[in-house]
Amino acid sequence: MLDPKYLRGDIQQTAEKLKRRGFELDVNSFIELEEKRKSLQVRTQELQNERNVRSKSIGKAKASGEDIQPLLAEVGKLGDELDSAKAELSVLLDEITALSQSIPNLPDDSVPQGEDEAGNLEISRWGTPREFNFEIKDHVDLGANLSKGVDFDAGAKLAGSRFVVMRGQVARLNRAIAQFMLDLHTEEHGYEETNVPLLVNQESMTGTGQFPKFEGDSFHTKPATEEGQGLSLIPTSEVPLTNIARDEIYSIKDLPLKMTAFSPCFRSEAGSHGRDTRGLIRLHQFEKVELVQLVEPTTSFDALEELTGHAEKVLQLLELPYRKMLLCTGDMGFGACKTYDLEVWLPAQDTYREISSCSNMLDFQARRMQARYRGAHGDKPELLHTLNGSGLAVGRTLVAILENNQQADGSVTVPEVLWPYMGGLEKIG
RNA sequence: GGAGAGGUGGGUGAGUGGCUGAAACCAGUUCCCUGCUAAGGAACCGUACGUUUAUUCGUACCGAGGGUUCGAAUCCCUCCCUCUCCGCCA
């Protein structure tokens, strides 16, 4: 959620910034709503004040044994007026909240203008794509030939399309990747290993910005609108990790808070029918090691560089060529103010594909969650800044290793840093 | 899942209809005193929104949401959570 002052004071300028990312803010109707809210709120409070004052005088009159009947009659009329004012106000507030929650974050000035991924800016490249002197296979064929290590038929039978069964050395390699990443981030990069619920409530989904706008992208145990509040399967552990800070006030001494978690992620992939239908790239269930930082506002852009670097380190140690992209205004996520994507080289697709996305959300999520910190002395609590990034997507890392490290005979070499996690195995297949 | 007990400010914990935005204690901040990093004393010490701005004042919030009432932390209902016992179970 944006700072209300952006929607009151210089709303026109805010609308311009939102336009950069293709969001049309209805300025006039918002101003109208705000003005109505203001006058209605003042009137409601005045009525309440009057009621409170008179009720108190009734109490005193009663205590001193006076006749309170005339007073009662007088206050009686106030009630109805107050009730209707209250009701009107609450409708209005709901409307404003709904509108506010549907507005995306403002893009940072450093973010390039663009409509879609074509507008993203390449920042840097690392590594050189390998030259193959044989006909290369993609990870689906490679995996299938590794003793059915990657089995989409079984996945489809069990759950449907976009699900997979992994076996044997491939399944182990998948686990090794996740273990390696967790160890790296906890031992080298200062993140606390965290194990989180995979099902979360609506407050959590709202806190990080998935709800109410993107309900269709997640799986729910019950319709989220139904009475009794269904839980949602997390689309990323960013949701539980970040929501740990919801309604908390941290001491500045505890910042920055750096957490990492390995978790399955569940996405309904609504609206992506026909995209990446082959292989492990886009599944309903995948695994990811997530990095989350909660920081003081002044340090969040530095933290974004640092966090992105932590994700890059994984790729470097795995010796996978990648490039770093600065997302343009049109390609950024709803709550992000600035996002770097890391794209790994996939030889079979002859292109770079997203394997990590690292974002600074500023106070956008913190405001929704009321996640705050208190500076020195008895300062007022202030909203902290939240960041998150994949470090990395495990399935896509597996894809990258399979494809980049394939040999002519269909075997795959294991990156050296993973040997300890593979029981010393240097090659699979 | 069943039975019982609870959810109050950073913490402990009073408060069963008006004088309670909330006692007391602890922690914290500031000041005073004291010749030592001790002891003592005083004041301050929730959040949000609105209003005003030398200074204010108002409203809401005692797990959440409804209800009763002129008036609710206090009474009623629903839900959530915690604890104890039982059941079940990885």
Query: Any idea what the CATH number is for the domain that residue A79 is in?
Result: 1.10.287.40
Q: Where would I find the H helices in A64-167?
A: 69-101, 139-145, 152-158
CA angle centred on A57, ends A55 and A62, rounded to 5°? 100
A230 touches strand B (CB under 7 A): no
How many angstroms separate the CA atoms of A115 and A109, rounded?
A: 16
CA angle A186, A187, A189 (to 5 degrees): 70
* The pair of three-digit structure tokens given for residue A310, joined into one six-digit string: 């932590």
Scanning residues 324 through 383 of protein chain A, those with a beta carbon under 7 Å from any atom of strand B turn out to be 377-378, 380-381
Number of domains in chain A: 2
Instruction: Clarify whether residues A145 and A245 are in a common domain.
Output: yes
Residues A318 and A239 in one domain: yes
What type of residue sits at position A199? L
* Residue A368 CA: distances (Å) to CA of A209, A389, A400: 8, 19, 36
What ranges in A293-374 are assigned the alpha helix state H?
Answer: 300-317, 364-369
> In this structure, are A372 and A244 located in the same domain?
yes
Domain termination site, one of A52, A72, A101: A101
DSSP notation for A91-106: HHHHHHHHHHHTSPPP
> In which residue are the tokens 């996690």 written?
A421
Give the distance, in angstroms, between residue A44 CA and nucleotide B74 C1': 25
DSSP per residue, A264-292: EEE---TT-TTSS-STTSS-SEEEEEEEE
A67, A154: one domain: no
Task: Tell me the nt nearest to A68, Cα to C1'.
Answer: B70
Whether residue A5 is contained in a domain is answered as no
* A380 CA from B24 C1′ (Å): 26
Domain end residue (candidates: A42, A68, A101): A101
Give the residue among A102, A93, A94 at the shortest CA–CA distance from A26. A102
Asked whether residue A125 falls in the same domain as residue A75, the answer is: no
pLDDT at A349: 94
Name the domain boundary from A101, A125, A150: A101
- The H or E element spanning position A356 is strand A351-360
Residue A251 · residue A374 · CB < 8 Å = yes
- From the candidates A21, A162, A172, A267, give the one annotated as an active-site residue: A267
Looking at residue A228, its pLDDT comes to 53
Is the residue at A326 inside a domain?
Answer: yes
Chain B positions with a protein C-beta closer than 7 Å: 10, 18-19, 28-30, 45, 47-51, 58-60, 66, 70-71, 79-80
Do A141 and A219 have their domain in common?
yes
Residues 47-86 of A with CB under 7 A from strand B: 48-49, 51-56, 58-60, 62, 72, 75-76, 78-79
Residue A246 in contact with residue A369, Cβ under 8 Å?
Answer: yes
Please check whether residues A357 and A254 belong to one and the same domain: yes
Q: Answer whether residue A20 is part of any domain.
A: no
Q: How many beta carbons lie within 10 A of that of residue A297, not counting itself?
A: 14
Q: Are residues A82 and A209 in the same domain?
A: no
Q: Residue A8 catalytic?
A: no
CATH number of the domain that residue A359 is part of: 3.30.930.10
A92 and A124 both lie in a single domain: no
Does any domain span residue A7?
Answer: no
Residues 6+ apart with CB under 8 A from A112: A119, A120, A121, A326, A328, A329
Residue A15 forms part of a structural domain? no
A316 and A368 belong to one structural domain:
yes
For A103, the token pair is 């507005």
For tokens 């918002």, the residue is A30
How far, in Å, CA of A122 to CA of A147, rounded? 38
Cis bond leading into A107, ω under 30°? no
**d(C-alpha A157, C-alpha A192), whole Å:** 38
Do A368 and A260 form a contact (C-beta atoms < 8 A)?
Answer: no
Residue A398 to residue A413: CA distance in whole angstroms: 12
**ipTM passes above 0.85:** no
Q: Which two tokens stand for residue A284?
A: 């309903």
- Could you list the pLDDT tens digit for every one of the 429 residues in chain A? 888 888 877 788 889 999 999 999 988 888 888 888 888 888 888 888 888 888 888 888 887 777 777 778 777 777 778 888 888 888 888 888 888 888 999 999 999 999 999 999 999 999 999 999 999 999 999 999 999 999 999 999 999 999 999 999 999 999 999 999 999 999 999 999 999 999 898 888 988 999 888 888 998 887 655 555 678 899 999 999 999 888 888 878 788 999 999 999 999 987 777 788 899 999 999 999 999 999 988 899 999 999 999 999 999 999 999 999 999 999 999 999 999 999 999 999 999 999 999 999 999 999 888 888 877 655 678 888 999 999 999 999 999 999 999 999 999 999 999 999 999 999 998
A167 is catalytic: no
Please indicate, yes or no, if residue A1 is contained in any of the structural domains.
Answer: no
Q: Which range of residues forms the domain containing residue A38?
A: 26-101
Question: Is the same domain home to A95 and A131?
Answer: no
On whether both A80 and A123 belong to a single domain, the answer is: no
A108, part of any domain: no
* A17 within domain boundaries: no
Q: CA A42 – C1' B49 distance (Å)?
A: 10
A101-138 as b/e: b if 16+ CB within 10 A: eebbbbbbeebeebeeeeebeeeeeebeeeeeeeebbb
Of A residues 86-125, those with CB within 7 angstroms of nucleic strand B are 90
